[in-house]
Amino acid sequence: MTAFATRRGSVTFPIPDVPDRARMRRETGERLRASMTARGVDALVLLNNSNVVYATGANWPLGDAGLSHVERPVAVVLRDDPWPHLFMPFREGASAERDLPADHLHGPVYLEFDEGVENFARLLAELIPAGSSIAVDEHTGAMLRAGKQIFPGGAPTDAALVVGPAKLIKTPDEISCIRTACRITERAVAEVQAALAPGRRQIDLSAGFVRRAFEYGATANMLDAIWQVMPSTKADGVWTTHGDLALPLLTTERELEAGDVLWTDVSITYGGYCSDFGRTWLVGGEPSAAQQRQFEQWRTILTAVLDVTKAGATAADLTRAAIAANGGAKPWLPHFYLGHSIGVSAAELPMIGTDLGPEYDENFVFEPGMVLVLEPVVWEDGTGGYRSEEIIVITEEGWTPLTDYPYDPYGN
């Protein structure tokens, strides 16, 4: 167990060097069932890949963790059973935390098809007592056609109201997984940045990153890597409904040119837990004086936010600090946020500074063990702007950093 000191005071937050997966599954299972009890839910039916990972520990090698197709994994969690039921194909290269009892491991259910839903309804009737309250996170078209007769207890409620609160506070082993995912990402990204040059295509950067990330231990690529070339002015950029900058834009075969400003955004998983990496890079050059000033302004904003970040602070405390440090203007894109959490999904609640409104931010209080990704943005026409992301863990008196990557070519 290694203790990492925060940059504020002498507070430490213990993070295992290697996650204990059995302990992690036990503790996250307890959190999930406690959330079920708090909301009066007897059974969860989970289709969302990230929720299945959280509930069962199952993970499988994927090029895109958002894809599920017809063999999607499905989890059924019962409030009075410490072991979840897992429905998925078991094949070479897949892992499903083999400490699950054999009678809790099932073959795939094909919920995109009417016959699959009919079969699943019979299985649920065997697992879930009649009259139980059930919550579901997603429905396929076939499930919607079948209606409420799939579920023994009638029409289900929204499982997001159960799973979301359970995910808010991470266990030390979950944080260890996130930190390992970050280390894998940063190691792979360093090689991409070293190869950055005029004439390289965006897809070349993606190919190099994905190959190295999997070689270094990634389980899945959470999103198509973003190496977005930023316009010189907002007027030169892609049209958006809100009149501000577009982000993210898909990677293409575009060849990079000297002087291009790249906003990067990549995410992989390790053992089902995500990294999130963002930096601003320059192609074939050093920052101008104006670009360097933007970076310093970004760092001023980040420092102001971190100075108020600790257990007991609210999301509104962070947004106020960011806005004040930016001269009264919001330093984030209108369709995004100042920050968000991370775990089995690349972006989890809370979302800080969104159109959920100031009341949401005022009422969201941070607790030790919550993990945040902070990503302020500074923009000035003619520069390409500056954006980077930092991942931290909330502690009683401050925060602990998980990100460990320099700001080249702007500074360390």
Q: What tens digit of pLDDT does each residue of 96-142 get? A: 445 688 889 998 899 999 999 999 999 999 999 988 999 999 999 99
Q: pLDDT at position 8, please?
A: 41
Beta bridge partners of 391: 373
Token pair for 358: 């100031």
More confident: 65 or 390 = 390
Q: Taking a C-beta distance cutoff of 8 angstroms, is the pair 242, 334 a contact?
A: yes
* Cα radius of gyration (the chain): 22
Handedness of CA 327, 328, 333, 337 (dihedral sign): positive
Token pair for 7: 């940059």
Please provide the DSSP assignment of 38-58 as one string.
HTT-SEEEE-SHHHHHHHH--
- As a whole number of angstroms, the distance between CA 386 and CA 277 comes to 14
Q: Taking a C-beta distance cutoff of 8 angstroms, is the pair 81, 57 a contact?
A: no
- As a whole number of angstroms, the distance between CA 392 and CA 372 comes to 5
Backbone angles phi, psi at 148, to 5 degrees: -70, -10
Give me the percent of the chain exceeding a pLDDT of 90: 80
**Cα distances (Å, whole numbers) of residue 322 to 49, 157, 303, 328, 370:** 34, 37, 9, 9, 19
- As a whole number of angstroms, the distance between CA 124 and CA 148 comes to 12
The answer on pLDDT for 92 being more than 60 is no
Global pTM reads: 0.92
The answer on pLDDT for 225 being more than 90 is yes
